[in-house]
């Protein structure tokens, strides 16, 4: 490697720093939870995807521990060689039943699930129509397939219909509409009833990434399709958020789709199987979620209380019903400064800025979870008031 190239990389990093867009990781020294330890400090955590507060749940920890003695630490192989245990199929079947699908298939992460979904299912004669604000994993997965690509403005049903009409006029054999169920930077829900109606009108299929909904949106936490009262063809999701917060993703759908993915989805074929401890904890997490109405009620009570408190303080929020509640700040450096001041006040949050969100739309994305107490929320609101005034966001 030449020094000239290393100098080029160093200059790129320096520009990222100068633009106020350098991401820094803070070391947590405790389990994930409503309160966490960062070094020797105890802070309230408002930026984890731990929606139901299960990341440190004793039943999940016990399930993971109990799986290791009889089943080992790791599989040391991919699924089709010698990496499948009976509990892998048990979790897949339980996920499928929970989501009202024929079957499901596990991946190391939902990024891998989305990355492996499109290429085996769609050829150059086909088309995929994608929401402009879809997650990076959907974008990357679509890039890997040979289907014609169409994009519609976020949740713009007129534009979606225009793209579907264009795909049909250009001779697409099969069309797949791809959307997030919840757009994670904004907390907006996809317009699934309208999307489904357009799919039926143009003989298209619908795929939904439901990572930010599975476990807590809709009846029994079955996700955005259940919340909207519609059925979609393919669901992707994660074990890494509401379902325990570890790692692992999945695709759920019709049996022939899942069967073909087992044969041809490259991240599935060429990545190690999930460890037994993760699988066992995933099974237990599903049991807790299916009985988790009280947790879901507490989560949405917290979300309403938090949103109301921030609005009373004068912060600019994006509207919505989801536990993702973004505080809009505009510039990257302001988001960084606000996050730093909040940490000084005992609240752990992160600033989000380009390229994660568009330029000029930097924010602090707060996220509620069922483990947060009313006292913790009140303390966090006081911290936001102090930090907001110091940073000139509110008066």
> Partners of 129 in the beta sheet?
150, 177
Cβ-Cβ contacts under 8 Å for 163 (sequence gap 6 or more): 129, 150, 151, 152
Provide the annotated active-site residues.
184, 212, 241
Separation of alpha carbons 395 and 381, rounded Å: 15
CB 154 within 8 A of CB 184: no
* SS3 of residue 313 by DSSP: helix
Label residue 384 exposed, middle or buried (CB < 10 Å: 0-12, 13-18, 19+). buried
Q: Residue 192: name the closest of 165, 168, 166, 217 by CA.
A: 217
Q: How far apart are CA 176 and CA 22, in angstroms?
A: 36
Contact assessment for residue 60 and residue 284, using Cβ atoms and an 8 Å cutoff: yes
Task: Provide the angle, in degrees to the nearest 10, between the axes of the packed helices 276-290 and 86-98.
Answer: 30
List CB contacts of 65: < 8 A, sequence separation 6 or more: 277
Whole-angstrom CA distances from 135 to 180, 203, 220 are: 7, 24, 25
Q: Which of 242, 325, 256, 318 is nearest to 103 (CA)?
A: 256
The pair of structure tokens assigned to 23 is 């991401």
| Nearest residue to 106 (alpha-carbon basis) of 144, 79, 133, 124 | 79
First to last CA, the chain: 52
Which residues on adjacent β-strands are paired with residue 149?
Answer: 128
What the block records as the tokens of 160 is: 């979606």
Residue 203 tokens, joined: 């003989």
């Amino acid at each position: 490697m030449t020094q000239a190239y290393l100098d080029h990389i160093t200059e790129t990093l320096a520009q990222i720093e100068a633009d106020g867009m350098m991401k820094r990781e803070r070391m947590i020294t405790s389990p994930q939870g409503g309160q966490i330890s960062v070094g020797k400090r105890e802070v309230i955590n408002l930026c984890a995807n731990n929606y139901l507060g299960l990341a440190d749940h004793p039943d999940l920890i016990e399930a993971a521990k109990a799986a290791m003695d009889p089943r080992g630490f790791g599989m040391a192989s991919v699924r089709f060689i010698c990496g499948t245990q009976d509990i892998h199929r048990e979790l897949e079947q339980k996920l499928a039943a929970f989501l009202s699908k024929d079957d499901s298939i596990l991946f190391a992460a939902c990024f891998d699930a989305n990355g492996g979904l499109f290429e085996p299912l769609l050829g150059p004669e086909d088309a995929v129509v994608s929401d402009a604000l879809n997650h990076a994993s959907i974008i990357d997965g679509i890039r890997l397939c040979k289907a014609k690509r169409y994009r519609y403005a976020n949740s713009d049903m007129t534009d979606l219909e225009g793209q579907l009409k264009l795909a049909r006029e250009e001779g697409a054999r099969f069309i797949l509409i791809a959307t997030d169920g919840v757009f994670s930077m904004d907390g907006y829900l996809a317009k699934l009833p309208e999307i489904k109606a357009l799919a039926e009108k143009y003989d298209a299929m619908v795929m939904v990434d439901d990572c930010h909904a599975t476990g807590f949106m809709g009846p029994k936490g079955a996700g955005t399709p259940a919340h909207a009262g519609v059925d979609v063809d393919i669901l992707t999701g994660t074990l890494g958020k509401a379902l325990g917060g570890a790692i692992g993703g999945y695709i759920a759908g019709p049996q022939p789709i899942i069967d073909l993915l087992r044969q041809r989805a490259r991240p599935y074929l060429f990545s190690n199987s999930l460890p037994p401890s993760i699988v066992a904890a995933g099974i237990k997490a599903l049991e807790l979620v299916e009985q988790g109405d009280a947790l879901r009620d507490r989560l949405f009570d917290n979300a309403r209380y938090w949103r109301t408190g921030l609005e009373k303080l004068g912060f600019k929020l994006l509207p919505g019903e989801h536990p993702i509640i973004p505080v809009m700040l505009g510039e990257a450096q302001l988001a960084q400064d606000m996050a730093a001041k909040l940490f000084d006040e005992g609240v752990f949050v992160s600033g989000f800025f380009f390229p994660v969100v568009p330029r000029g739309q930097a924010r602090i994305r707060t996220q509620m979870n069922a483990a947060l107490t009313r006292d913790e929320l009140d303390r966090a609101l006081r911290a936001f008031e102090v930090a907001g005034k110091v940073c000139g966001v509110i008066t």
